[in-house]
Amino acid sequence: MQTDSSFTFVLFGGTGDLSMRKILPALFEAHRAGGMLADSGKIVAVARHAANRGEYLQWVNEHVKPHVSKNGVDEAAWTSFLARIEFVKIDLGNPEDFVQLRDAIQDLPGIRVFYLATGPSLFVPICHALASVGLNENARIVLEKPLGYDLKSSNAINDAVGEIFAEEQIYRIDHYLGKEPVQNLLALRFGNALFEPLWRREWVESIQITIAEELGVEARGDFYDNTGALRDMVQNHLLQLLSIVAMEPPHSMDSDSVRDEKLRVLRALKPIDPNEIGKVAVRGQYHAGGIRGSAVPGYATEAGVKPDSTTETFVALKVEIENWRWAGVPFFLRTGKRLADRVAEIVVNFRAVPHSALGASALRAGANRLVIRLQPNETIRLYCLAKQPGEGMNLASVHLDLAFDKFFREGQMEAYQRLLLDVIRGRLALFVRRDEQEAAWRWVEPILNEWKTSTKPPKPYAAGTWGPAAASAMLAQHGTCWLEEEN
């Protein structure tokens, strides 16, 4: 893939955790691949924890280099990558410092991209400071989550940013939309006649979407205790994945066509009745337990967490979509920390055959299913029943692997790499539009409000398990269960 598009990529929060683990490694991989980034493109890191460019490059060598390239670092590529990097030391709280930034980049070529890898409280001040020195014109700005605490605060941020940048200049990033299996889900659905006739209520019994983590809150206890799993994962990642799974075929893959269809799904979500939240939503909080043979503490004893905290670390939801395609099909969403495994996957359970001449095993739920795994290993598997060798008609589950790494020699592109390239090239399809974000906040708000005022604490679950028993009981009422045995 070749590009002649020059760029100046300004990275706010240049010494932050996200820059260290994701953004700079992704830019290096694009640089190392050759041809993905214009030779004249520059990366300008903005931070206050380094004195000058030399000190910043030393920080990059020490902290970023260990996170790049699973197959080792090409030293020549690394050296040439460092040559792209400039550094500007400014205090983000001082608008006058942005004059230094303007002077540093005014002669650099190409489109300007401002990536705000900072806390959301700095989004609006940074945008105002950029505008004060004229850097908002003909530029693109990337906003990381969380974008607000609820619908009101999200709208306040969007209103303020929208006064400075036009909607087509704003890239609200959700890295799950850049994952290879999510892209392949679009290809699977809209590039093949095989699945589209089955992708509807007549043939789909239920759909599960899971994002499970083994990690706890780590060093983010104070942040997480004021956020919780519903805000941190459901409002963005899980509802975005749901909209991709359930959307109608767009007339093209241009940005607004794709996002229009996602928006229709979000607006078709069945509103949550506050009186029914206990039946369709489970919240939990992990207690002490074990992960892979090691003891781990409970959430309430983590650093930065209030001992009497009622913040949820686990959420399971039953969601319905009120449209012609999906009426009556339950979508089950689940996310949590300190669970039994690190996995993100989408499971499409097809209905059993209406009558079986081959015995009861052909009628069991989940005999036919499609499993799209996003992490840790990215695969797509189609499960069906086949006859076991030997006497009699005994059926067993088998699967077909869509092993893309065996068909395509080039390695898969990491999510951040794809999304950063899309920003540089002006492609908005994989970024969240404001009306999508508003629809998602509007849908989760009744749950947020109910849990905020509830006197019932989150349901406890031991670290290293799959969450509260109530989450499994919710699915059992619909004759199904969570898929937890895949490799």
Choice among 80-89, 173-182, 201-210 with the minimum mean pLDDT: 173-182
Give pLDDT, residue 385: 86
**Catalytic residue flag (residue 237):** yes
pLDDT at 446 over 50: yes
Mean pLDDT of 447-475: 95
d(CA 413, CA 22): 13
Over residues 131-154, the mean pLDDT reads 93
Please tell me the predicted confidence (pLDDT) of residue 402. Answer: 77
pLDDT over 90 for what percent of the chain?
72
Q: How many angstroms separate the most distant Cα atoms in the chain? A: 82
Average pLDDT for the chain: 91
pLDDT over 70, % of the chain: 96
**Closest C-alpha to 246, from 335, 371, 330:** 330
CB 44 within 8 A of CB 108: yes
User: Given 31, 175, 237, 287, which residue is catalytic?
Assistant: 237
pLDDT in tens, 93-107: 888 899 999 999 999
Question: 248-265, pLDDT tens digit by residue?
Answer: 999 998 899 999 999 999
Token pair for 348: 């499409």
* 56-78: pLDDT as tens digits: 999 999 999 999 876 678 899 99
* pLDDT value at 4 more than 60: no
Rg (the chain; Cα; Å): 24
- Whether the predicted pLDDT of 2 surpasses 50: no
pLDDT for 354 equals 81
- When mean pLDDT is compared across 22-26, 272-276, 410-414, the lowest value belongs to 410-414
Q: Return the pLDDT at 472.
A: 96
Per residue in 219-228, pLDDT tens?
A: 889 989 999 9
For residue range 268-315, what is the model confidence (pLDDT) as tens digits? 999 999 999 999 999 999 999 999 999 999 999 999 999 999 999 999
At 365 the pLDDT is: 66
Does pLDDT of 1 surpass 50?
no
- What is the C-alpha to C-alpha distance for residues 50 and 15, in angstroms, rounded to an integer? 8
Domains recognised in the chain with CATH numbers: 7-144 (3.40.50.720), 177-476 (3.30.360.10)
State the pLDDT at residue 413: 85
- pLDDT at residue 213 in the model: 96
* Three-class SS of the chain: CCCCCCEEEEEECCCCHHHHHHHHHHHHHHHHHCCCCCCCCEEEEEECCCCCHHHHHHHHHHHHHHHCCCCCCCHHHHHHHHCCEEEEECCCCCHHHHHHHHHHHCCCCCEEEEEECCCHHHHHHHHHHHHHCCCCCCEEEEECCCCCCCHHHHHHHHHHHHCCCCHHHEEECCHHHHCHHHHHHHHHHHCCCCCHHHCCCCCEEEEEEEEECCCCCCCCHHHHHCCHHHHHHHHHHHHHHHHHHHCCCCCCCCHHHHHHHHHHHHHHECCCCHHHHHHHEEEEEEECEEECCEEECCHHHCCCCCCCCCCCCEEEEEECECCCCCCCCCEEEEEECCECCCEEEEEEEECCCCCCCCCHHHHCCCCCEEEEEEECCCEEEEEEEEECCCCCCCEEEEEEEECHHHHCCCCCCCHHHHHHHHHHHCCCCCCECHHHHHHHHHHHHHHHHHHHHCCCCCEEEECCECCCHHHHHHHHCCCCCCCCCCC
Q: Which residue has the higher pLDDT, 81 or 179?
A: 81
Average pLDDT over residues 453-468: 95
pLDDT score for 376: 84
Which residues, listed in sequence order, are joined to residue 314 by a DSSP beta bridge? Answer: 284, 336
pLDDT at 363: 67
Q: With 50 as the cut, is the pLDDT of residue 121 above it?
A: yes
Q: What is the pLDDT of residue 409?
A: 65
